[in-house]
Amino acid sequence: MRATVVIPTLNARSLLSEALEHLAAQTVDHDVVVVDNASTDGTAEAVRTGFPHVRLVVLDENLGFGRAVNRGVEDVETEVVVLVNNDVLCAPDFLERLLEPFAEGGVGMVAGVLLQHDRPHLVDSAGIELDPTLRSWDMLWNRPVEELEHASDPVGPCGGAAAYATEAFRGVGGFDDAFFAYWEDVDLALRLRLAGHACRRAPAARALHRHGQTVGAASPRQRQLEAFGRGYVLARYRVARASLRTRATVALLDWPVLLVHLLVRREAGPLRERLRGTRTGLARPALRAPFELATVPVREALRRQASLLRLRASGGLPSHFAETASGAR
């Protein structure tokens, strides 16, 4: 089985070069496609000169993450598409281990394991898990690597280290072009699961992740993208229509954060983007909310939210970590 690695990038020439060097040392043959989102730092020239084996797609504008990946997948001829962020450094056997679960019938996606670059004994993401409002969380975030041994399979892979059966990816239409960045991997995982495709984790497929290098961890732009994505997923899957209890849980989890942005940070952008995401999602055909995939109880989701707030207030939150654990890069 052969894979094509697709890497979207923007103005990250040095990071990308290091990522490509690690991919060049993989233990299995593969193809690589770099989709340059209209970089102005010489990225295209660096790829052409230093990595002539890489297929380069140069865009005229920044399409964001998902739409750039879709463009890169258009010409893929291999059985599997692998997504790797430009700030990810793959171990030599990363691809080999990531492809192994596809030998099992019905598997349409595989999650690799991202480790924190500066603390590689801790997990950054071992895939996506959901709470009952379809809010996503990075599985095992900040937990010791040893806990991978007993972890269940995720709902889907984090887009920073993901593998998809090419036929399955194309069968559901790839990434939804409503997203610019953040949450597109959650939505794709949900649609693939609704289409009957299983997800497995490849615990030995490991890579180091410099979290938040592209958009900026906990930046105003990141907060706006996060808010849009959350609003869109809630609306597209009509989550709030499930029950009054579900609506109350969404409000309990989401609105305190939005109010902090508005009242403490004096940022109206996240609230505006949340509303825009809701309108955009409601304008699309409704999809069934697969609540049965939720593995994080509401009490645990609230505990995690409170833990993140305590870490941030105390200065103990890693500087590379994004605003929330959901849908983050």
Residue showing tokens 């504008």? 61
The CATH number of residue 80's host domain is 3.90.550.10
Q: Quick one: 226 and 177 in the same domain?
A: no
Q: What is the pLDDT of residues 62-107, one digit of tens each?
A: 999 999 999 999 989 999 999 999 999 999 999 999 999 999 999 9
Domain that holds residue 46: 3-209
Structural domain count of the chain: 2
Q: What angle, rounded to 10 degrees, do the helices at 43-50 and 13-24 form?
A: 30
Task: For residue 277, give every residue at least 6 positions away whose Cβ sits within 8 Å of its Cβ, in sequence order, or none.
Answer: 227, 228, 229, 230, 231, 232, 234, 235
Beta strand residue intervals within 254-329, DSSP E: none
Tell me, what's the pLDDT at 257? 87
- How is residue 31 annotated by DSSP? E
Q: What is the pLDDT of residues 175-204, one digit of tens each?
A: 999 999 999 999 999 999 999 999 999 999
Q: Quick one: 178 and 304 in the same domain?
A: no
CB atoms within 10 A of CB 201: 22
Q: Which of 164, 186, 209 is the last residue of a domain?
A: 209
DSSP strand pairing (128-130 vs 198-209): unpaired
Domain-embedded: residue 161: yes
Q: Across all residues in the chain, what is the average pLDDT?
A: 92
Angle in degrees, CA 316, 215, 233, rounded to 5: 90
